[in-house]
Amino acid sequence: MPDSSTTFTSTPATDDLGQLESGLDNLETGSRQRPSIKSSILKLLSPLIAIVAVIAIWQFIIYLQWQPEWIIPSPKAVLDSLGAQAEQDILWQATFGSIKRAAQGFVIALLVAVPIGLALGLNKYLRAIFGPLLTGLQQLPSVAWVPAAIIWFGLSDATIYTVILLGAVPSIANGLISGMDQIPTLYLRAGQVLGATGWKKIRHIVLPAAWPGFLAGLEQGWAFAWRSLMAAELIAVSPALGLGLGQMLDIGRQLGDMALVLGSIIMIMAVGVLVDRLIFSPLRQRTLRNRGLAR
Amino acid sequence: MSLTGGARIAPGTALLESEGLAVKISHVTKRFNPNGPDVLQDISLSVRPGEFVSLVGASGCGKSTLLNLLAGLEKPTSGEILTDGSPTLMFQEPALMPWLTAGKNVELALLLRGVPRKERKEKAQRLLSMVHLDRSYNQRPHELSGGMRQRVAIARAIAQERKVLLMDEPFAALDAITRDLIHEELSRIWKETGLTVIFVTHNVREAVRLGQRVALMSSRPGRIIQEWNVDIPEPRRLDSPPVAELARVITDELREEIRRHA
């Protein structure tokens, strides 16, 4: 007759059953494959091929002398222009100014979007009422808000952050909602059996289970925040706003300096790629690997 | 004390204690559609504390519905279910959280039960060694075999320290060799913990191998039509002659029941 307490004293795995099971376990789980150093380096360097190819084609067009230098400047002219901006400290001020603004805007967008996403993901009535509005906002290019924001807030930081928020919040919130929609019922049932209710259910079951979809929303939200910021900086130019890549681009336009225009565009793209490579791509890889979804 | 419709679920009542029972199902009927057929019809079953009861039946006998009622995931249409505390439930799938390691999956159960942070890791480690997974604490569910995952699920269920464990065909998806070993594991754990187990399966031999009592259910509507006491001493095997013999008697009854639907 077993006693009624459910406390347990551990049995060392030296018994017969333990040996059998650990033998079978070893047979059934193969050794883990780690990616080799060679393949990691290859993966890191392969985007360079595209960059080299683009520069080669570009240089070839210059070599043909098809258009004058002030319409299509050479790669070297663009590099020199960026170098000149760097010497005056403008390049780094502009780049870090923009990154800082985008990052701050993104964090605020996150704080606004998560409660909205949770509320709409958990409550089907709120979802029915506000879902279409959110999707409408997501479809609308947030540049469209720049004129309105300037009228409301003038040429101030508030204008810039408004545009970033309107760009990023709908994507992040919708990402969280679709992540929640994709949670397999099994996890919710298991959570229920484990006694996860209320905030604990959200914290320990819903949010982690929704993470892959939410991460996709974060990536899109970042892309929208960055784009919106560039659009806002390009349109709302004022000494009061400080320097950003958008403003640098606008200075190039005003001076008719095509090398600076192209240089600014390259910097805007480079920041986008770097943020993906350094933040989102590792997060994505880690998520897929941890959940056994990596191929 | 009864709610509208006469359906009531009351975990852990003095009533059970006075009768010396861990689970009492009285005259439970379940319909999903008010005008639809009875999925379960007039089910009555009493389970003593520490008892291991197997429920067998063909498809459509409402075994899983009965477990969902016992687990409180659904409410009976009529009748009464009493359980000693709220039971825990194991599914056919291990249902481990894929974002957590094996150890953290067990810790999640401890956390939700309110075990302080400092004690969780050691407890989880001990529960994993109970199912012979000492070295799997940091492994992710997808790195484990099906049998290992289901053992983690057992450890997680034990971590909840509930008195009643419901199992819904938990080993149906496992291969024969793995299932054989996990049967031994479960028998041992059941004896060591004193849990009350209700084990649903459509594998008659498995029901006999594990249970102290086997209840046979009919299909459409689901009713309990016969019960057997399994007086076969441990260690039992799926192929022990007395197990096979009783399984044959039950299978004959089961076939008789299936034939009714021809």
Cβ of B99 and A22 within 8 Å?
no
Q: In what order do the strands lie in the sheet with B23-30?
A: B8-11, B78-83, B23-30, B40-47
Residue B202 within any structural domain of the chain: yes
Is residue A247 predicted with pLDDT exceeding 80?
Answer: yes
Query: Are B169 and B121 in the same domain?
Result: no
Is residue A4 predicted with pLDDT exceeding 60?
Answer: no
Please say whether the beta carbons of B26 and B44 come within 8 A: yes
Q: How many Å apart are CA A4 and CA B85, to the nearest integer?
A: 13
Q: What distances in angstroms separate CA A155 from CA A1, A234, A237, A251, B233, one per listed residue?
A: 81, 12, 7, 17, 86
User: In angstroms, what separates the C-alpha of B142 from chain A's closest C-alpha?
Assistant: 5
Is residue A203 predicted with pLDDT exceeding 90?
Answer: yes
pTM score: 0.84
* pLDDT on residue B38: 87
Cβ of A29 and B144 within 8 Å?
yes
Q: How many Å apart are CA A264 and CA A78, to the nearest integer?
A: 9
Contacts of A205 in chain B (CB under 8 A): 97
Cβ of B98 and A1 within 8 Å?
no
Query: Are B77 and B31 in the same domain?
Result: yes
Partner residue opposite A208 with nearest CB, options B86, B97, B185:
B97
* pLDDT on residue A26: 84
Strand B40-47 to B52-57 pairing: unpaired
Q: Which residues of A touch B (CB under 8 A)?
A: 1-13, 17-18, 20-22, 24-25, 28-29, 32, 186-187, 189-190, 192-196, 200, 204-205, 208-209, 211, 290-292
Q: Which residue of B has its CA nearest to A14?
A: B132
Coil, strand or helix at A46: helix
Residue type, A18: G
Say which DSSP state B20 is in.
T
CB proximity list for A286: less than 8 A, separation 6 or greater? none
Q: What is the DSSP string of B133-160?
A: -GGGTT--GGGS-HHHHHHHHHHHHHHT
Q: How many Å apart are CA A71 and CA A75, to the nearest integer?
A: 13
Please say whether the beta carbons of A43 and A228 come within 8 A: no
Contacts of B168 in chain A (CB under 8 A): none
B177 part of contact set with chain A, CB < 8 Å? yes
Q: Domain A85-290 falls in which CATH fold?
A: MetI-like fold (1.10.3720)
State the burial class of residue B260 (Cβ atoms within 10 Å of its Cβ: 0-12, 13-18, 19+). exposed
* pLDDT on residue A241: 78
H or E segment to which residue A16 belongs: helix A16-28
Is residue A282 predicted with pLDDT exceeding 50?
Answer: yes
pLDDT of B221-252, one tens digit each?
Answer: 888 989 999 988 888 888 888 998 999 999 99
* pLDDT on residue A32: 59
Q: How many Å apart are CA A165 and CA A175, to the nearest integer?
A: 15
Strand B8-11 to B78-83 pairing: parallel
* pLDDT on residue B53: 96
Q: In what order do the strands lie in the sheet with B164-168?
A: B88-90, B164-168, B196-201, B52-57, B213-217, B224-229
User: In angstroms, what separates the C-alpha of B43 from chain A's closest C-alpha?
Assistant: 23
Which of B186, B214, B212 shows the shortest CA–CA distance to B200? B214
Query: Are B123 and B143 in the same domain?
Result: yes
Please say whether the beta carbons of B61 and B218 come within 8 A: yes
Is residue A83 predicted with pLDDT exceeding 90?
Answer: yes
Residue B25 within any structural domain of the chain: yes
Percent of chain A residues topping a pLDDT of 70: 93
Per-position pLDDT tens, chain B of length 262: 333 334 445 555 667 777 888 999 999 999 988 888 888 999 999 999 999 999 998 877 788 889 989 988 888 999 999 999 889 999 989 999 999 999 999 999 999 999 999 999 999 999 999 999 988 999 999 999 999 999 999 999 999 999 999 999 999 889 988 999 999 999 999 999 999 999 999 899 999 999 999 999 988 888 898 999 998 888 888 888 899 899 999 999 999 888 887 7
Which of B48, B91, B92, B97 should one mutate to test binding to chain A, selecting the residue with the greatest count of A CBs within 10 A? Answer: B97
Q: What distances in angstroms separate CA B204 from CA B12, B188, B246, B251, B252, one per listed residue?
A: 31, 20, 9, 7, 10
User: In angstroms, what separates the C-alpha of B46 from chain A's closest C-alpha?
Assistant: 17
Whether omega before A35 lies within 30 degrees of 0, making that bond cis, reads no
CB proximity list for A136: less than 8 A, separation 6 or greater? none
State the burial class of residue A72 (Cβ atoms within 10 Å of its Cβ: 0-12, 13-18, 19+). middle
Query: Are B112 and B169 in the same domain?
Result: no
Residue that wins the pLDDT comparison between A32 and B143:
B143
Query: Are B27 and B16 in the same domain?
Result: yes
Query: Are B173 and B210 in the same domain?
Result: yes
Q: State the pLDDT confidence band at A34, using cuts at 50, 70 and 90.
A: low
* pLDDT on residue B57: 86
Find the domain containing B209 and state its range.
Answer: 4-87+163-259
Contacts of A12 in chain B (CB under 8 A): 129
Contacts of B120 in chain A (CB under 8 A): none
Query: Within a 10 A sphere around the Cβ of B135, how many other Cβ atoms?
Result: 14
| Cα torsion angle, A161, A163, A168, A169, sign | positive
Residue B138 within any structural domain of the chain: yes
Which of A163, A148, A142 shows the shortest CA–CA distance to A241? A163
Query: Are B152 and B198 in the same domain?
Result: no
Contacts of A6 in chain B (CB under 8 A): 158, 161-163, 193-195
| Cα torsion angle, A217, A223, A224, A226, sign | positive
Cβ of B177 and A192 within 8 Å?
no
Query: Domain boundary at B135, B161, B187, which?
Result: B161
Please say whether the beta carbons of B181 and B154 come within 8 A: no
For chain A, which residues make up each domain, given as ranges? 85-290
CB proximity list for B145: less than 8 A, separation 6 or greater? A24, A25, A28, A29, B178
Structural domain count of chain B: 2
Residue B113, token pair as written in the block? 């039960």
CATH code where residue B249 lies: 3.40.50.300
Which of A5, A9, A15, A25 should one mutate to test binding to chain B, selecting the residue with the greatest count of B CBs within 10 A? Answer: A25
| Ranges of H-type helices in chain B | 14-19, 63-70, 102-113, 117-130, 146-159, 176-193, 204-210, 241-259
pLDDT of A208-222, one tens digit each?
Answer: 999 999 999 999 999
- Asked casually if ipTM beats, i.e. exceeds, 0.90, the reply is no
Contacts of B146 in chain A (CB under 8 A): 28
Residue A92, token pair as written in the block? 């780094």
Q: Which residue of A has its CA nearest to B92?
A: A186
* pLDDT on residue A7: 46
Beta bridge partners of B24: B46, B82
Query: Are B172 and B71 in the same domain?
Result: yes
Query: Are B109 and B72 in the same domain?
Result: no
Query: Are B24 and B131 in the same domain?
Result: no
Is residue A223 predicted with pLDDT exceeding 90?
Answer: yes
Say which DSSP state B162 is in.
-
Cβ of B129 and A8 within 8 Å?
no
Q: How many Å apart are CA A272 and CA A222, to the nearest integer?
A: 9
Contacts of B181 in chain A (CB under 8 A): 17, 20-21, 24
Query: Domain boundary at B114, B131, B161, which?
Result: B161
Cβ of B193 and A9 within 8 Å?
no
Say which DSSP state A18 is in.
H
Residue B14 within any structural domain of the chain: yes
* pLDDT on residue B50: 93
Residue B92 within any structural domain of the chain: no
Cβ of B192 and A186 within 8 Å?
no
* pLDDT on residue A6: 44
Q: Which residue has the tokens 């225009």?
A: A261
Tell me what the pLDDT averaged over chain B comes to: 88
Q: How many angstroms from the chain centroid is the CA of residue A106?
A: 10
Query: Are B70 and B101 in the same domain?
Result: no
pLDDT (average), residues A225-233: 92
Q: How many Å apart are CA B122 and CA B119, to the nearest integer?
A: 6
Query: Are B182 and B77 in the same domain?
Result: yes
pLDDT (average), residues A244-272: 93
Query: Domain boundary at B124, B141, B161, which?
Result: B161
